[in-house]
Amino acid sequence: MSIVEQSRQDDVLILTIQNPPVNAFGVGVPEGLHAGLDVAASDDSIRAVVIIGGGRTFVAGADIRTFDLPREQTPDLRGTVDRLDRFEKPTVAAIHGTALGGGLELALACSYRVAVPDAQLGLPEVKLGVLPGAGGTQRLPRVVGVQRALEMMLSGTPVRADEAAQLGLVDQLVQGDLLTGAVQFAREHADARPLPRVSERQAEGGSPEVFAAARAGLQKTHRGQLSPGFIVDLAEMAATQPFEQGWDAEARLFMQAKDSPQSRGLRHIFFAEREAGKIPGLGKDTPQTEIRTAGIIGAGTMGGGIAMNFLNVGIPVTIVETSQEALDRGLSVVRRNYENTAKKGRMTMEDVERRMALLTPTLNMEDLKDADIIIEAVFENMDVKKDIFTRLDGIAKPGAILATNTSTLDVNEIASVTSRPESVIGLHFFSPANVMRLLEIVRADKTSQTVLATSMALARRIKKVGVVVGVCDGFVGNRMVHRYGDEARKLVEEGARPQDADAAMHALGLPMGPFEMSDMAGLDVGYLIRQHQAKVAGAPKPDGWLDRIVEQGRKGQKTQAGIYDYPDGRKPVPAASTDELLSTYRQEKGLTPREVTQEEATKRLVYSLVNEGAQILDEGIAQRASDIDVIYVYGYGFPAYRGGPMQYADEQGLQNVAADLERYGQTPAPLLKRLAEEGKTFSSYDRERTRG
């Protein structure tokens, strides 16, 4: 079967693009379209051409997998678009599913666009660190106006066809069968001359103020990123220059953006996110349990946040607490969160009530007997969790999934107190659980395939990115963050100020550095763990500088004082008391402070993550390096345009990473050392293992 099928309905030639799953503009598509256009050009009985997607969608974009191919091997989207723009007979793009990126650019070069009302049209290139590279930056402003085009190109968010019709982006909505409607439309416009060409139109609304505001806005929304600035420059060209100039500039800037580490990082995360959903040995036909109702134990911050995920997608939740007071407090927090969303206009009060009506509070654990999944979200204490699971074992119906939201504890040990360890799994949500997209899915030794497959599907249903990890202290994310925290503390002992370490991470694009994060999480948590561990090991009482801060009663943001001061309750301000404490501490310990450069701080902090990540990968706790990146981007705010810590290390070169680790007194993990010696990358390691 050809990638572009030709068929005829009398005087209309139909070109159907068949490149599953999403009809990406890949190898074979331009050839097929050109062949079709050749036929249409040479046959006088053909009066118009309809271009349509076979299967579930119109063209969802250029084929991202071809971006790293040599230029001559990349499918010639621009050439095809250019030919369509000049074509002498009417061309009609018939859109269903998604017309994204190169797909919308193809449609914009046609004479007309028709679509089913729920089709989605957009230019999401910015999300891949590139820009519309086949005329989109020049044509979209000429159709929908500069302001709207900027919004669409900078957010990457598509619009539904019915809205697109109001914007003039779609010429006609088709209510019934798309092809029938498109052919009829094509016939009605077969004799239209001159043909409408977007490239000949003017872009409206491009005042200097609009561009100045757009550039200023980028500081907030896309700080440090390359392609959004290019998009604004190109939209300005669309408004002020002849089409050809903008078209040429677009080609140049597209290549520059595409070849940047930022675009490689974003493309890496695009595929990594999809890859994370694939579990070796877990077939697509693995039976799943139907999740109709959920139970949650604990109505604290985590429990309430977790409940919201289920309520948002219409799954009723029964939430259990030990006291009426705790239950009331938990429910009022959930309600307040929803009401705040409603105040911002992102949901109606009816939506709030509909969600709250799905939430049943109870003090009786027996009320969970009919739940299809039960998630325990109480505080981190093994004895308490074991007690809950022992009781759940006697209450839950057979086949119910029993999940723990533990962030560090041994899920095997928790499962061992039940008579059905195959039903037990870890579902580690990240705070705030109703916002953060990551879900670490902790597979214990005896977790069944069904429970795993159901949990993966559930993650998608509640709009999380699920990543499967193995059992170990802290799993993937927190285990790495512990090492990062240790390194941050060391940097300060050696002479850096806490705000220097945090600034190094801001410079990399993280919203928070290690110490701002610790203050937010509460310094007492780590303090208690360190004290407990020392006691168990019979070691002396820990006396690090951070321990001393906690002993001053400064526990972080919640006490308005931690490593930083919080005069307004939220914004960290460097604290004089911390400077004094550090200077006394260093004196007592005989530490001579030295200057730590930002480069050193960045390398030591990020490479501590990478080194632990390599060890985790080697132990099989994470399945792929790219899974670790997904965890850091979706759970810890690592900027997606850096691709996650492992991809960042690949970009630096693993030899350099290993050498720097040694230079700064850390021992490279065996896997990292080996890959560095063999001149490999984490990406190549992932690829080899997938093939193997």
Interactions with ligand 3HC, residue window 104-123 (CB under 6 A): 105
Question: Considering the complex, what minimum distance in angstroms separates the CB of residue 129 from ligand 3HC?
Answer: 10
Considering only CA atoms, which of 459, 468, 465 is closest in space to residue 291? 459
- Binding status of residue 474 toward ligand 3HC by CB under 6 A: no
Closer CB to ligand 3HC, residue 101 or residue 305? 101
204 catalytic residue (yes or no): no
C-alpha span between 76 and 496 (Å, rounded):
52
- Binding status of residue 128 toward ligand 3HC by CB under 6 A: yes
The region of 95-103, 261-269, 303-311, 661-669 touching ligand 3HC under the rule CB under 6 A is 95-103
Question: Considering the complex, what minimum distance in angstroms separates the CB of residue 289 from ligand 3HC?
Answer: 23
Closer CB to ligand 3HC, residue 63 or residue 516? 63
Alpha helix positions (H), 598-669: 598-618, 625-636, 645-652, 654-663
- Decide if 259 contacts 651 (C-beta within 8 A): no
β-bridge pairing 159-160 and 424-429? unpaired
Six token digits for residue 639: 């900027």
The region of 126-134, 331-339, 501-509, 546-554 touching ligand 3HC under the rule CB under 6 A is 126-134
- Binding status of residue 24 toward ligand 3HC by CB under 6 A: yes
Catalytic residue among 72, 105, 595, 678: 105
Catalytic residue among 31, 125, 380, 619: 125
Question: Considering the complex, what minimum distance in angstroms separates the CB of residue 503 from ligand 3HC?
Answer: 33
Six token digits for residue 603: 């390398």
Six token digits for residue 267: 């493309």
- Binding status of residue 81 toward ligand 3HC by CB under 6 A: no
From residue 219 to residue 258, what is the string marking binding to ligand 3HC with x (rule CB under 6 A)? Answer: ----------------------------------------
125 catalytic residue (yes or no): yes
Judged by CB under 6 A, the residue of 65, 223, 343, 663 near ligand 3HC is: 65
Closer CB to ligand 3HC, residue 79 or residue 208? 79
β-bridge pairing 48-53 and 91-95? parallel
Judged by CB under 6 A, the residue of 76, 125, 376, 440 near ligand 3HC is: 125
Report the half-sphere exposure of 544 (CA within 13 A, side-chain side): 20
Judged by CB under 6 A, the residue of 13, 33, 81, 100 near ligand 3HC is: 100
Alpha helix positions (H), 145-193: 146-155, 161-167, 178-188
Instruction: Taking each helix axis as running N to C, give the angle between helix 514-521 and helix 498-508, from 0 to 180 degrees, rounded to the nearest 10.
Output: 110
Which class for 348: exposed (0-12), middle (13-18), buried (19 or more C-beta within 10 A)? exposed
Report the half-sphere exposure of 99 (CA within 13 A, side-chain side): 30
- Decide if 166 contacts 292 (C-beta within 8 A): no
- Binding status of residue 470 toward ligand 3HC by CB under 6 A: no
- Binding status of residue 359 toward ligand 3HC by CB under 6 A: no
- Binding status of residue 77 toward ligand 3HC by CB under 6 A: yes
DSSP string, 402-424: EEE--SSS-HHHHHHTSS-GGGE
- Binding status of residue 126 toward ligand 3HC by CB under 6 A: no
Q: Give phi and psi for 317, each to the nearest 5.
A: -125, 135
Closer CB to ligand 3HC, residue 62 or residue 306? 62
Six token digits for residue 331: 């429910």
Closer CB to ligand 3HC, residue 139 or residue 497? 139
DSSP string, 610-623: HHHHHHHHHTTSBS
Question: Considering the complex, what minimum distance in angstroms separates the CB of residue 135 from ligand 3HC?
Answer: 9
The site that binds ligand 3HC (CB under 6 A) totals a number of residues, namely 25
- Binding status of residue 62 toward ligand 3HC by CB under 6 A: yes
Judged by CB under 6 A, the residue of 98, 225, 293, 454 near ligand 3HC is: 98
Question: Considering the complex, what minimum distance in angstroms separates the CB of residue 32 from ligand 3HC?
Answer: 17
- Binding status of residue 263 toward ligand 3HC by CB under 6 A: no
C-alpha span between 535 and 95 (Å, rounded):
66
- Binding status of residue 75 toward ligand 3HC by CB under 6 A: no
- Binding status of residue 30 toward ligand 3HC by CB under 6 A: no
Query: Residue 121 carries which DSSP code?
Result: E
Instruction: Reduce the DSSP state of residue 316 to 3 states and report it.
Output: coil
- Binding status of residue 124 toward ligand 3HC by CB under 6 A: yes
- Binding status of residue 64 toward ligand 3HC by CB under 6 A: yes
- Binding status of residue 265 toward ligand 3HC by CB under 6 A: no
C-alpha span between 62 and 99 (Å, rounded):
11
- Binding status of residue 63 toward ligand 3HC by CB under 6 A: yes
Six token digits for residue 164: 């697109």
Q: Give phi and psi for 439, each to the nearest 5.
A: -135, 110
Question: Considering the complex, what minimum distance in angstroms separates the CB of residue 521 from ligand 3HC?
Answer: 33
Six token digits for residue 427: 């579902």
Considering only CA atoms, which of 156, 158, 168 is closest in space to residue 132? 156
Question: Considering the complex, what minimum distance in angstroms separates the CB of residue 95 from ligand 3HC?
Answer: 13
The region of 16-24, 84-92, 299-307, 512-520 touching ligand 3HC under the rule CB under 6 A is 16-24
Read off the amino acid at residue 599: E
Degrees to nearest 5, angle at CA 95 with 94 and 98: 160
The region of 20-28, 370-378, 425-433, 510-518 touching ligand 3HC under the rule CB under 6 A is 20-28
- Binding status of residue 302 toward ligand 3HC by CB under 6 A: no
- Binding status of residue 102 toward ligand 3HC by CB under 6 A: yes
Alpha helix positions (H), 439-544: 449-461, 477-494, 498-508, 514-521, 523-537
Side-by-side strand order, sheet with 120-122: 98-100, 120-122, 159-160
- Footprint of ligand 3HC on this chain (CB under 6 A)? 21-22, 24, 60-65, 77, 98, 100-102, 105, 124-125, 128, 130, 132-134, 136, 271, 274
Instruction: Give the residue numbers marked as catalytic.
Output: 105, 125
